[in-house]
Structure 1
């Protein structure tokens, strides 16, 4: 794959290595948004079918992206926290139960569990990273697996760690969860779209993805997958469109107790967004055209000079077998962090500090010039 910078409108004077913060907008996505915006000029032309057509398209496209055999297990959500809240609301906890999360996990996949555990007096087990740079990712995965027991009701974490890119061994976690009958809840916000994810292989009970990062969609968009464990659950929101036969507008006053089949019971109200949904569709089509495994390969090849340089400078980066290529952390000594902020600004590089790590998150719009800018930043502070 060649660099795809021409499909975006990035300022070429800056090196935007920060997709984990927020994806830049594809030209095609902006065009779709403008078309959707114009459509609402004449609402008399918006038909009942328009409330559902784009939703079906999104479900089909996302199912292709994550190899989901049933599109009806896909629904629209406005945020990761919304998607996780539906999960938490339908996993009752007892005092003797525990929930497993990883250390320094993104708050949207921690606060809901924290609240649920406090209400039920259950245990929230936060499995922190090992205090070492030797085989850190491998040891962290082993700690998480070792923390799961017969009282574990759910393991909730990302495919990659949002701050440093550590890869979590989802297949081993799935196997262990099966052994103790625990749910596997994946926040795919920092991976799905750039890192291959296979529903049929990993078999998550829920996959929650905010749309404005690696899905390249607009802010306040998101997509969720809910497995069989949640087929008869109660959604956190009671809206008209998640009820059976909501397509029949003339019958909406005949209130239904039955929900739409599959995951649509958990969909957000007003998910028929005539501006955002076409943008989501355009983004998904582009990702499917590129394919996540090609994105990983592009990023792998792109970052090799940076990884080599950082290691030569004595900075820690996780071994490639235990981190992703689209998101990874470079550990910055505390006494160098102020200088780092200044150097990033001086060299016009956008990347995020998360804890002690400089989080670098390239995409196919980045090129060797962007990487060289960051190399100059690192040389300036070490």
Structure 2
């Protein structure tokens, strides 16, 4: 279902065309109000009870689990995708000579931990080259064989939305005994994903883009076979019996159940957690499938107009519907994004693409304004 424009729910000036959600989402009014109220709680610490260190974080865990079709025990609360991927790198076994697959021009947070792991374990990071036809799934499957210990991929490429079929990649990874780690930061909340179907070993996502939440609140899903793994830090909340503040000095070796052992310290953040809860509730109310359908209509309008300007656009079948990369033969000048920003039209340049990433606060008029300004400067 195509959703009606939701601009009234966001704090966006009328003269700003923000078509750059892949950079950062504007904040929902409700999320801002929840945040202001939450900041005030710190002024009254006598009202914070021991159970408050658990109640909201568990509610947030359940909301995220609903979003990705997971069990709440499989969800860890982390500050960033990079933290979640570091947890994965600390637990995925790699033998000498095995390969770790990443995409060309991947976001750094999904490259650096695997380089370190390969160096530590004697493995090899193999970069899958960008396919000329845009079919990342085929390119990955051609490299994914019995030599592979790990596949580290996004759901869609962060520079232009190039799509990866995670179900097919995950199935092949299991066939050859490889682990699957997914950085879903640039898709989760705008592109439907079920961990029950994909079956990733680890799936991490930052919360401040398509999940509409505050900066420094992220999520990590961990498959059952890794839930007894090694955390990358040790905090009191992750330990068994931490609900009883009077017995915290009775040090325990056991952990809270499931993926909670991977929670970041101070995961009960009394400002960020309520804000993230409000954001996820709104996403669930919209429905991620309907968000994707609505945004695809906008990016198709972008693609059609861009082609008329002789810009190159990935095929619709090979990209996600919520973002699109526009390339130009010979490239763009170094200040193309700044020129658009001076006209109060905001996009990002990533790699050699202008990345256009609308959300429900955008309309066809925003797309037409972008195309008009592009025509004037490129």
TM-score, scaled to structure 1: 0.96
Match of 2:25 among 20, 23, 26: 23
Look up the SS of the partner of 2:168 in the other structure. helix
Kindly tell me: are residues 369 and 92 of structure 1, through their superposed partners in 2, closer, same or farther at Cα, counting changes over 3 Å? same
**Cα drift, residue 335 of structure 1:** 4.8
Counterparts of 1:78 and 1:248, CA distance in 2: 25
Match of 1:158 in 2: 154
1:126 aligns with 2:127: yes
**Cα drift, residue 226 of structure 1:** 0.4
**Cα drift, residue 112 of structure 1:** 0.5
**Cα drift, residue 22 of structure 1:** 0.7
Deviates more, 1:112-121 or 1:23-32: 112-121
Counterparts of 2:317 and 2:374, CA distance in 1: 23
Kindly tell me: are residues 335 and 301 of structure 1, through their superposed partners in 2, closer, same or farther at Cα, counting changes over 3 Å? closer
1:85 aligns with 2:86: yes
Kindly tell me: are residues 52 and 313 of structure 1, through their superposed partners in 2, closer, same or farther at Cα, counting changes over 3 Å? same
**Cα drift, residue 285 of structure 1:** 0.4
1:137 aligns with 2:138: no
Match of 1:198 in 2: 194
1:257 aligns with 2:257: no
**Cα drift, residue 342 of structure 1:** 5.2
1:180 aligns with 2:198: no
Matches within 5 A, 1:217-366: 217-338=213-334, 340-341=336-337, 343-366=339-362
Counterparts of 1:87 and 1:245, CA distance in 2: 25
TM-score, scaled to structure 2: 0.97
User: Contact 2:310/2:328 (CA < 8 Å) preserved in 1?
Assistant: no
Counterparts of 1:268 and 1:283, CA distance in 2: 20
Match of 2:107 in 1: 106
User: Contact 2:299/2:323 (CA < 8 Å) preserved in 1?
Assistant: no
Kindly tell me: are residues 59 and 335 of structure 1, through their superposed partners in 2, closer, same or farther at Cα, counting changes over 3 Å? closer
User: Contact 2:299/2:324 (CA < 8 Å) preserved in 1?
Assistant: no
Deviates more, 1:342-351 or 1:195-204: 342-351
Look up the SS of the partner of 2:181 in the other structure. strand
Counterparts of 1:256 and 1:89, CA distance in 2: 22
**Cα drift, residue 206 of structure 1:** 1.0
Counterparts of 1:246 and 1:329, CA distance in 2: 47
1:96 aligns with 2:93: no
Q: How many residues align?
A: 376
Look up the SS of the partner of 2:219 in the other structure. strand
User: Contact 2:11/2:28 (CA < 8 Å) preserved in 1?
Assistant: yes
Counterparts of 2:66 and 2:365, CA distance in 1: 33
Deviates more, 1:89-98 or 1:265-274: 89-98
Q: Which runs of 5+ in 1 are unaligned?
A: none
1:66 aligns with 2:68: yes
Deviates more, 1:305-314 or 1:286-295: 305-314
1:372 aligns with 2:373: no
Kindly tell me: are residues 148 and 304 of structure 1, through their superposed partners in 2, closer, same or farther at Cα, counting changes over 3 Å? closer
Deviations 1:285-329 (A, max 9, x none): 000011111111111222333211111222111111111121121
Look up the SS of the partner of 2:161 in the other structure. coil
**Cα drift, residue 339 of structure 1:** 6.4
Look up the SS of the partner of 2:296 in the other structure. helix
Counterparts of 2:257 and 2:24, CA distance in 1: 33
Deviations 1:234-263 (A, max 9, x none): 100011011111111111100011111110
Q: Which runs of 5+ in 2 are unaligned?
A: none
Look up the SS of the partner of 2:365 in the other structure. helix
Match of 2:42 in 1: 40
Counterparts of 1:357 and 1:119, CA distance in 2: 34
Counterparts of 1:157 and 1:312, CA distance in 2: 32
**Cα drift, residue 217 of structure 1:** 0.7
